[in-house]
Amino acid sequence: MNVANAAESEAQFSQQGQNTFRGRGNQEPITMLAAYLATLRTFQRNVWLYFIAISLIGFTVDGGIYSVVFNLFLLRLGYGPEFVGQVNSVGLLAFAICSLPAGALGSRFGNRQAMIIGLTLMMASSILLSFSEAITTSWREPWIFTVYCFFHSSIAIFFVNTAPFLMASTSEDQQSHAFSIQSAMISAAAFVGSMAGGILPGIFATTTGLSLEVATPYRYPLLIAGLTINIGILALFLAQEKKRNPGKPLPSRPRRLYPSFFRVPRFNRIQWQNLDRNFLKLVLVVSSIRVFQITGMAVLMTFFNVYMDDGLGAPTAQVGLLTGLGRLLAVPVVLTMPLLSARWGNRDLSAGASLSAVLFLLPVAFIPTWWAAGIGYMGVMAGSSIRYTSFLIYIMAMIKPEQRSLMSGINEMTAGLGFAVMALIGGYIIVNQGYQTLFLLGAGLTFVGTVIFWGYFRNFAMAKTPLREVAVTEPG
C-alpha cells in the first residue's frame, strides 16, 4: 500500500467519522465530556508516567522557566540581542544535528531508555548553565556555547523519542486524546513555569539585596529548573518499554577473531528496503513544510522575552505573566482537538492553525505595545499547539511503526534547523532592521509553509476522525 492507497483507506472511515460527529452533536455537552473522560480512564500506567515527565519539561524547558529567564540572564551578563541569537542558533543547530542519531538511539535501546538518557543529560547541562556567571570572562562565551549545545542535544534525544513512545503506548482510538492531553499538560505546566520564571528573579533579588539589572537573581531559577528535571527521570524509570514486533532478522556478521579496544557501538541499521519512493517523497515534503511552518513560532519563542525587555522595557514579572498566559490559553484549545479533528480532520485543522499564527504575528509587528505583543504571543502559542499535534498525528498515521523513529528524527531535525536559522539571523535583523522586520519575516515564511502543506495534501482524503495507522509498504 502506498501513500495514495493510504489516502483511500482514510476515506473509508472518513464517512464513519462524519456520522459519529453528527451523532455527537445531538448529545448533551455533559455526555460528550463523560465520553472524553472515559477515554482518559483507559490510558495505561505508562501513559500517565510519561505525562508526568513531559509536564516537568513544560515547567522547566519547553515554555517554562527557561523560556522566560535564560535570554534575560544573557542580557544581564552584558550581552546584546545578536549574542542571544547566536547562542540560541548554535543550540538549535545542535538539536537538529542530534535529531537523527536520537532516533537511532531509540531504535537501538528503546524509546523509554533514550528519553531517560536525554533527561539525564538535560538535567546536568541545565545545572551547568546556571553557573555561567561564575566562569571567568575570557572563558564564559565558549562555556555558554558548549554547554548550551549539550543542553539542546539532550532535548533532541528526549523529544524525538516521545511520539514513537506515546504511539506505542496507546491504541488507535486513544491517540488523538493522548496527544491533545500531552499538549495541554505541557501548556499548563509551562504556564506555571513561566509564572515562576517571572516571579523568582524578583524574590531572589529581594533576598540577596541585589538589583534585577545584574545576572545573579536569574541564575537561581535556572538552577531550580535543572534540579526539577530529576522528577521526570524517576517517572520514566517507573515506566515500561513496549515490546516491539520482531522484523526480518539482519544477516549476521562474521565474529571478530581478535580483541579490540576501539570498538564502536553498533546501532540497528535502517531497513532501507522499507523506505520506498513514496515514503522518501513524504519525508522530503514534510521536511520542507516543517522548515517554513515553524518560522513564525521560532522568532516569537526565541525573541519574545528579549523584545519585551529590550524593545518595550517591560518588567520581568510581566514577561513571565504574558508568557504563562500564552501557554495557559493553549490548554482549553488543545483539549478540544479530538472534537475539532472529528469535525474538520487533522489536515484542515493543521492548515487552519498554521494560518492563525500568521494572523496573530501581525499585531506583534505593527503595534509596539505590551498588550499587542501579549495577544499575538498567546494566539501564536495556542495555534501552534493545535498545528503541531494535528500535523504530527496526520503524518505519523501514514507510516509504519518502525518508520516513526526515523520520521520523528527528521521532523525534529528540520524544525531545529528552521529555529537555528531564524535565531541566528534574528539577532542581526533586530540590531540592523528592528523587531518589526523580524516578526513580518516570520509571518511571511509561515504563510509559505502553510501554502506548501495545503498544496501538497489538498487532494488527499480528508480524515474527519483521528487518523488510523496506515502503513506505507510495498505492494503484495
Q: Domains of the chain: which residue ranges?
A: 3-240+273-457
To the nearest whole number, what is the mean pLDDT of the chain? 78
The residue with cell 499564527 is: 357
Query: Per-residue pLDDT for 2 more than 60?
Result: no
Q: What is the mean predicted confidence (pLDDT) over 363-391?
A: 87
CA-nearest of 387, 383, 389, 376 to 323 is: 376
Query: Per-residue pLDDT for 451 more than 70?
Result: yes
Q: Give the phi and the psi of residue 209 in degrees, each rounded to 5.
A: 75, 20
Q: What is the pLDDT of residues 226-258, one digit of tens each?
A: 999 999 999 999 887 766 554 444 444 444 433
Distance CA 167, CA 179 (A): 9
At 224, the amino acid letter reads I
Does pTM top 0.85 for this prediction?
A: no
Q: What is the pLDDT of residues 387-428, one digit of tens each?
A: 877 887 787 777 777 667 677 777 777 887 888 888 888 888
Distance CA 87, CA 253 (A): 43
Q: What cell does 365 get?
A: 509587528
Contact 222, 91 (CB under 8 A): no
How many CB atoms within 10 Å of residue 474? 12
Contact 119, 53 (CB under 8 A): yes
Distance CA 54, CA 163 (A): 11
Contacts of 402 (CB under 8 A, 6+ apart): 107, 244, 247, 271, 274
3-state SS record for the chain = CCHHHHHHHHHHHHHHHHHHHHHHHCCCHHHHHHHHHHHHHCCCHHHHHHHHHHHHHHHHCCCCHHHHHHHHHHHHCCCCHHHHHHHHHHHHHHHHHHHHHHHHHHHHHCHHHHHHHHHHHHHHHHHHHCCHHHCCHHHHHHHHHHHHHHHHHHHHHHHHCHHHHHHHHCCHHHHHHHHHHHHHHHHHHHHHHHHHHHHHHHHHHHHHCCCCCCCHHHHHHHHHHHHHHHHHHHHHHHCCCCCCCCCCCCCCCCCCCCCCCCCCCCCCCCCHHHCCHHHHHHHHHHHHHHHHHCHHHHHHHHHHHHHHHHHCCCCHHHHHHHHHHHHHHHHHHHHCHHHHHHHHHHHHHHHHHHHHHHHHHHHHHHCCCHHHHHHHHHHHHHHHHHHHHHHHHHHHCCCCHHHHHHHHHHHHHHHHHHHHHHHHHHHHHHHHCCHHHHHHHHHHHHHHHHHHHHHHHCCCCCCCCCCCCCCCCCCC
Q: What is the mean predicted confidence (pLDDT) over 346-371?
A: 88
Model confidence at 41, in pLDDT bands (50, 70, 90)?
A: confident
Q: What cell does 76 get?
A: 544581564
Q: Which CATH architecture fits 3-240+273-457?
A: Up-down Bundle (1.20)
Query: Per-residue pLDDT for 132 more than 60?
Result: yes
User: pLDDT value at position 125?
Assistant: 94
Query: Per-residue pLDDT for 27 more than 50?
Result: no
Q: How far apart are the first and last CA of the chain?
A: 8
Q: What cell does 256 get?
A: 571478530
* Greater pLDDT, 248 or 348: 348
CA-nearest of 127, 112, 124 to 235 is: 112
Distance CA 463, CA 353 (A): 16
Q: How far is CA 304 from the centre of its chain?
A: 17
Distance CA 157, CA 408 (A): 11
Dihedral through CA 372, CA 302, CA 451, CA 400, nearest 10?
Answer: -130
CA-nearest of 409, 471, 319 to 103 is: 409
Tell me the percentage of the chain whose pLDDT exceeds 90.
24
CA-nearest of 157, 175, 115, 249 to 401 is: 175
The segment with the largest mean pLDDT, out of 237-246, 253-262, 322-331, 351-360, is 351-360
Model confidence at 118, in pLDDT bands (50, 70, 90)?
A: very high
Contact 84, 71 (CB under 8 A): yes
Q: What is the mean predicted confidence (pLDDT) over 329-352?
A: 77
